[in-house]
Amino acid sequence: MYWSCGNTKRIEIGDVFFLMRLGVEPKGIIGCGYISSRPYALPHWDEEKANEGKTALRTDLLFKSLSDEPIISLPYLQEKYPEYTWTPQSSGMPIPDEIAGELFAQIQSDNKFSFQPSIKKEIELYAEGKQKSVTHNTYDRSPAARQACIEHYGYSCCVCGFNFESAYGKLGSKYIEVHHLKQVADIGLEYLIHPIDDLRPVCANCHRMLHKARPPISIEELKLQRKNT
């Protein structure tokens, strides 16, 4: 999933994060894992500010442990590390490396929350597809994965070659849709998506044609159908 990182831009892929619960009791660290994207802007989490066109920074998170109850309680943190302020007023607050390393190792070695450390290649994949319930089922999409796909393949449709900027000028500049070769809705679970292997840029017409069947028609099959018409 992604999470607000406040105004912090000095975040790198592979950095460790901790999720703190401070609004209600019991308070403390309830999750940890790795950052899987650089900070990027999305519509502001505050609806009023979002309606004004304002944005806020987010980062993608690859959770390794997550709990309903604190894994490490706030009183424990305040007693063991009294020099650090554990109740900040905003997200994205840095923790000294020495403290972060000790806490991460403590959670990693806990039998209830133990996990193997992720290698950098795994962290660089973009976590996507965790089902969530609103008024109906929707699926998280990773803007970072979408952008990485476009940076690799460009803004032309990989089926028909259509380019919005060539057809519409400035209005169509840097516009293209992105097709998932693995359908998130069919998987129904969180999975790691690689933007080069699992995504392709397509125009709106070809995107619709790909989804005319279920499972969707493959890119290669649609190309053949275009040649045969």
Region of residue 131 (phi > 0: left; psi between -120 and 50: alpha; otherwise: beta): beta
Exposed / middle / buried, residue 156 (Cβ in 10 Å: 0-12, 13-18, 19+): middle
Q: What is the DSSP letter of 156?
A: B
- What is the residue extent of each domain of the chain? 2-123, 130-227
Dihedral angle sign, alpha carbons of residues 184, 132, 112, 37: positive
DSSP one-letter code for 163: B
Q: How far is CA 45 from CA 42, 51, 54, 125, in A?
A: 8, 10, 9, 25
pLDDT in tens, the chain (229 residues): 777 887 777 888 888 899 988 888 999 999 998 888 888 887 877 778 877 888 888 888 888 888 888 999 999 999 999 999 898 777 778 888 899 999 998 998 888 877 776 766 666 655 444 444 333 333 345 677 788 888 899 999 999 999 999 999 999 999 999 998 876 555 544 556 678 888 999 999 999 999 888 788 999 999 998 877 6
**What sign for the dihedral angle of Cα 103, 108, 109, 114?**
positive
CB of 156 closer than 8 Å to CB of 175: no
Nearest Cα to 71, choosing from 30, 33, 111?
Answer: 30
* 63: Cβ contacts below 8 Å, ≥ 6 apart: 1, 31, 32, 33, 127
Tokens encoding 178: 């992105």
- pTM of the prediction? 0.51
122 phi, psi to nearest 5 deg: -70, -40
